[in-house]
């Protein structure tokens, strides 16, 4: 399975998987939970951050360790291509020097890149995307006997999924009324600029969007782009083919990421979805629901002993 749509996301330079709430890095209750994890680690402990993305949690652990006058040997792993250049350019060297980043490594193949057993393995918004039976086995093999597994997973009832349901409906609507195919035909030279504008105007006039779309950031973005297409002179529009192709590719990738996340929403809705960890010999010590600024749900914290 291709993970290019996630690589594209991280290569854009974002730090977190929830940029609407967390502009630079995770804070609030999420930060507090990782502080508790670092509290129990001795200086020099080996820690692996799975599904690291662009290193958000790894960087938090390093930041917290520095505040506690500790050093940690952090390995940060992701199945996609980590944007190490962006990470090192936008974060203190004292933090990034504490982290080794390893790209293009599935969680299920963790054993292939870790040469030493770990004191702790952590993750955030990642493990639930993997094959949990294989993941639990790999983590068990890589943890020290007294090691701990701590992770934050998506909540099925989280506000982010309500937002994503609307986003998915918006993408499906633009696909179903023919906008995706029309722009693609123009980009590939199968439609003229004048034909693109006329057909797009006809589509827009014939189809009324769901009122729930109105005011949504994704819908407003598409509205703005379609309006610009219709109003642009033909020659100027012809010069925008590459940009329109990029716009379409970015949104197709965003739609794939959206579908991944909504599939995970269904997965974590099941009772004891984390049962593969229990079957592998882990013992659940703590679970806690996390909110963003004491408002909407952002995730569920799980802490396992080995």
At 200-256, the pLDDT tens digits run 999 999 999 999 999 898 999 999 999 999 999 999 999 999 999 999 998 998 898
Residue 9: φ, ψ to 5°: -65, -50
Distances (CA, A) of 39 to 35, 159, 187: 6, 30, 54
Instruction: Quote the pLDDT of residue 10.
Output: 47
Is the pLDDT higher at 22 or at 48?
Answer: 48
Instruction: Work out whether strand 143-153 and strand 118-124 pair parallel, antiparallel, or are unpaired.
Output: parallel
Instruction: Quote the pLDDT of residue 264.
Output: 86
Beta strand spans in 176-240 (E): none
- The residues, any chain, with a CB within 8 Å of residue 173's CB and separated by 6 or more, are 207, 209, 210, 213
Band the pLDDT of 134: cuts 50, 70, 90: very high
Where in the chain do CATH 3.40.50.150 domains reside? Answer: 4-156+269-305
Q: How far apart are CA 306 and CA 230, in angstroms?
A: 60
Per CATH, the number for 4-156+269-305 is 3.40.50.150
Q: Is the pLDDT at 1 greater than 50, yes or no?
A: no
pLDDT tens for each residue of 223-236: 999 999 999 999 99
Q: How far apart are CA 271 and CA 78, in angstroms?
A: 27
């Amino acid at each position: 399975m291709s993970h290019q749509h996630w690589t594209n996301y991280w290569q854009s330079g974002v730090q977190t998987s929830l940029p609407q709430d967390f502009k630079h890095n995770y804070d609030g209750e999420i930060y507090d939970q990782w502080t508790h994890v670092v509290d129990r680690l001795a200086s020099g402990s080996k820690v692996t951050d799975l599904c690291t993305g662009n290193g958000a949690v790894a960087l938090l652990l390093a930041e917290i360790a520095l505040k506690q006058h500790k050093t940690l040997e952090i390995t940060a792993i992701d199945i996609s291509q980590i944007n190490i250049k962006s990470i090192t350019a936008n974060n203190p060297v004292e933090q990034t020097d504490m982290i080794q980043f390893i790209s293009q490594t599935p969680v299920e193949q963790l054993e292939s890149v870790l040469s030493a057993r770990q004191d702790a393995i952590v993750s955030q918004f990642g493990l639930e995307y993997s094959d949990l039976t294989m993941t639990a086995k790999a983590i068990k093999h890589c943890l020290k006997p007294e090691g701990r597994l701590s992770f934050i997973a998506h909540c099925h009832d989280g506000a982010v999924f309500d937002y994503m349901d609307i986003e998915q409906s918006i993408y499906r609507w633009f696909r179903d009324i023919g906008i995706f195919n029309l722009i693609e035909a123009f980009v590939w030279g199968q439609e003229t600029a004048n034909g693109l504008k006329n057909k797009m105007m006809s589509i827009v006039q014939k189809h009324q969007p769901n009122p729930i779309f109105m005011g949504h950031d994704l819908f407003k973005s598409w509205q703005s782009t379609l309006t610009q297409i219709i109003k642009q002179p033909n020659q100027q529009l012809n010069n925008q083919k590459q940009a329109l192709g990029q716009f379409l590719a970015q949104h197709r990738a965003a739609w794939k990421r959206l579908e991944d996340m909504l599939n995970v929403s269904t997965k974590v809705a099941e009772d004891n979805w984390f049962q593969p960890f229990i079957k592998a010999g882990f013992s659940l010590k703590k679970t806690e629901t996390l909110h963003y600024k004491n408002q909407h749900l952002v995730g569920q914290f799980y802490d396992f002993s080995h």
